[in-house]
Amino acid sequence: MGKKIMLQGTASNVGKSTIVTGLCRIFKQDGFTVVPFKSQNMALNSFITKEGLEMGRAQVSQAEASGLEPIADMNPILLKPSGNNKSQVIVRGKVVGNMSSVEYHDYKLQLMDVLKETFDELNSKYDITVMEGAGSCAEINLKARDISNMGMADIADSPVIIVGDIDRGGVFASLAGTMLLLNEEERKRVKGVIINKFRGRKELLEDGIKMLEEIINVPVLGVLPYNDIKIEDEDSVTTRFKKVIGVKDVHIEIIRTPHMSNFTDFHIFETQEDVSVRYVDYGEYLGNPDVVIIPGSKSTIDDLKFIRENGLEDQIKSLHKKGKLIVGICGGYQMLGKKLKDPYHVEGEVEEYDGIGLLDTETIFEEEKTTTQVKAIICEGLSGYLECLSGKEIRGYEIHMGVTNIGNNIRNLDAITEKLGEEVNYTEGSVNNEGNVFGTYIHGIFDEIEFTRALLNNIRQSKGLESIESKVGSFKEFKENEYDKLADFLREHLDIDKIYEIMND
């Protein structure tokens, strides 16, 4: 069996996912085979593997940093909140049903064997398994059936490092308090702690670090300064939505709906020097963007109601009349149509709901979920912002519960050429005749830089600006560079030798 190490946290969003990603990269650079593992993930950001299985996005980044193709067993349990205290439960990449928190708490007992099997399979194939916990590891009310933190560390018999976030304040208390709430056996597993997101002079922490080490009886393995390395966030707890970004040549505004999913679709825009992005949150209004994007959604009709009731629908229609580009991804694509029908009550009791009506489409929600990876090419003869984009290759993945039919006054966006590795030939997506509204089910469509840069340049030309080239050769290349930067950053600020020592004990 391989070595293992587990990163747990004092709370959510302390930086566990990023540190695990960086450690995976370091171990790979040092010549080891390494695999990430997170027993349970609660996230609306998900990914579809080559086998058509669903998993959390954080483990996708960690797999990439490890030089691996993502597989669902790296995240054997995925919970996707669907409102009303319920979540869709996905086990080893497949949906097993929707459960309330009480139902899932009982169901956890059936998952212990699944976790042991998946962990043992991975750990036997790789030199090192880097594990990630979820939320706080000291939730004493949930300990009896914990499968995310110390419960999983026990199944794997793994040493643990705890991460605390100093940026939110109280890091010494949170680390010491976490250790206090662990039982004796759990404390024995903890071999060190990491202080993350520090802004300031490290010398000012030295006395506090010494006192903390005396209190918790384990070493501080490093203090990580705040950084701007662009690694994908795990879920909507990200601070990305709060960033204030100055308006640039091409300004994009993304509506942050209550059940927004897969906002990783838009990370590519941060690599383009002429693009600014703003997430429009609850109680906020659209400004004067060049592009409005309605993202994917776990609850399409509820999110459409949110858009309508908060006055955003009228603003979208007004911007459309001004010739701005309106884009819908997955659930957002469904919203842009004329009708949404739910005969099987997949989303709720409402069987029919009016869409925004900017695309001549009708969506029918079905009981079976579509989960697939695809490759496609943009269709011929499109106009407006999509002019001269025909033949551009796009690729990504689909996760949706509906089928969208198009009317007469509309064109398809793309032709699917490959599905789950097999050649196919069918059309997908929709574009209005003017070429200023389009929708697609393909998550990750913007990751293909040739397509995205051509689209952005069409927007630039419409504003009288010259076209420019991307300084990033591909999004994959950009991410690889960021993983290397992250590894260098962790080597500088963490005691990596000590971490190796911990794994070898």
pLDDT at 236 over 50: no
Q: How far apart are CA 253 and CA 501, in angstroms?
A: 47
The residue from 251, 320, 400, 443 that is catalytic is 443
Render pLDDT for 237-292 as a digit per residue (tens, 0 to 9). 455 565 545 789 999 999 999 999 999 999 999 999 999 999 999 899 999 999 99
Mean pLDDT throughout 45-73? Answer: 96
What ranges make up the beta strands (E) of 59-189? 77-83, 86-91, 94-100, 128-136, 160-165
Is 493 a known active-site residue? no
Highest-pLDDT range among 234-238, 345-349, 440-444: 440-444
Q: Quote the pLDDT of residue 237.
A: 47
Considering the candidates 330, 379, 400, 493, report the single residue annotated as catalytic. Answer: 330
Q: What is the mean pLDDT of residues 413-430?
A: 97
pLDDT of residue 239: 53
| Active-site residue flag, 379 | no
Cβ pair 326, 437 in contact under 8 A: yes
Which is nearest to 396 in space by CA: 447, 455, 436, 471? 447
pLDDT band at 384 (very low <50, low <70, confident <90, very high): very high
- Domains of the chain with bracketed CATH: 3-231+479-504 (3.40.50.300), 250-464 (3.40.50.880)
Rg, C-alpha atoms of the chain: 23
pLDDT score, position 238: 52
- 1-15, 81-95, 114-128, 177-191: which range is least confident on average? 81-95
Q: What is the pLDDT of residues 330-350, one digit of tens each?
A: 999 999 999 999 999 988 888
CB distance 325 to 290 below 8 Å: yes
- Quote the DSSP letter at residue 201: -
Q: Is residue 255 left, alpha or beta, with left meaning phi > 0 and alpha meaning psi from -120 to 50? A: beta
Classify residue 241 as exposed, middle or buried by CB count within 10 Å of its CB (0-12, 13-18, 19+): middle
pTM summary value: 0.93
Question: What's the pLDDT score for residue 85?
Answer: 83
